[in-house]
Amino acid sequence: MGLADELLDDAEPLAQKGISEKRPSCMRRAVSTAYYSIFHLLVEDFVSNWPFLDQRARLARMFDHSKMRNAAFTPVDKNNLTPTEKALDGVRRAFGELQKDRHKADYEVSWIIVETDVKRAVTLARDTFVQWRSIRTEDVARNYLLSMFGANR
């Protein structure tokens, strides 16, 4: 099991503990962990295709959160997305949403986090794992991942 899967598994009990004990610190950690599970899911996928094992960690550190959020996605026909494009658009939106939530969870001390925030973040992350893994070998998904790394189209 990779780091991404472990983080996703960790998010669930953090969420449950936070909700049942009404403990905002755990709820915030759950949201943050849900985001990082998706971040590492995508990064791991990219670097696992790099042939030089000793360079993979360095390559992974080159990923930039902002560039990843703003990665280009240009469907062939934006009014009629293919199933793969639809799934990829879901991944793109989920990544942006979870990144925003992670920022609030980690930095906005005035944010009053509620149960629905936490449940939504964790289920969104779990759904995104499924979506990404269903399309990860498709050309459009591999190109998107390259854009997330910072490549221009």
Partner 1 sequence: MYAPLALSKRAEIDAALQRVEQRLRPDVVRIRYEIGEYWTGEPAIFIRVLLTDDAAKHRLREVANRAVWDLARELDFDALGVFPYHEFRSESEQATLQEPAWV
Query: Is 110 among the residues that bind partner 1 (CB under 8 A)?
Result: no
Percent of the chain as helix, strand, coil, to the nearest 5: 75, 0, 25
Residue ranges in 112-141 that form contacts with partner 1 under rule CB under 8 A: 112, 114-117, 119-120, 123-124, 127
Token pair for 88: 């990829």
Is-contact 151 131, C-beta < 8 A?
A: no
Shorter beta-carbon distance to partner 1: residue 47 or 124 = 124
Is-contact 51 59, C-beta < 8 A?
A: no
Burial class (CB in 10 A: 0-12, 13-18, 19+), 17: middle
Count of residues that interact with partner 1, criterion CB under 8 A: 20
Query: Is 62 among the residues that bind partner 1 (CB under 8 A)?
Result: no
Stretch that binds partner 1, among 12-20, 26-34, 50-58, 93-101 (CB under 8 A): 93-101
Considering only 67, 103, 136, 142, the residue that binds partner 1 (CB under 8 A) is 103
Query: Is 97 among the residues that bind partner 1 (CB under 8 A)?
Result: yes
Closest to 76 measured CA to CA, from 66, 86, 65: 86
Using CB under 8 A as the criterion, which residues of the chain lie in contact with partner 1 when the complex forms? 66, 69-70, 78, 89, 93, 96-97, 100, 103, 112, 114-117, 119-120, 123-124, 127
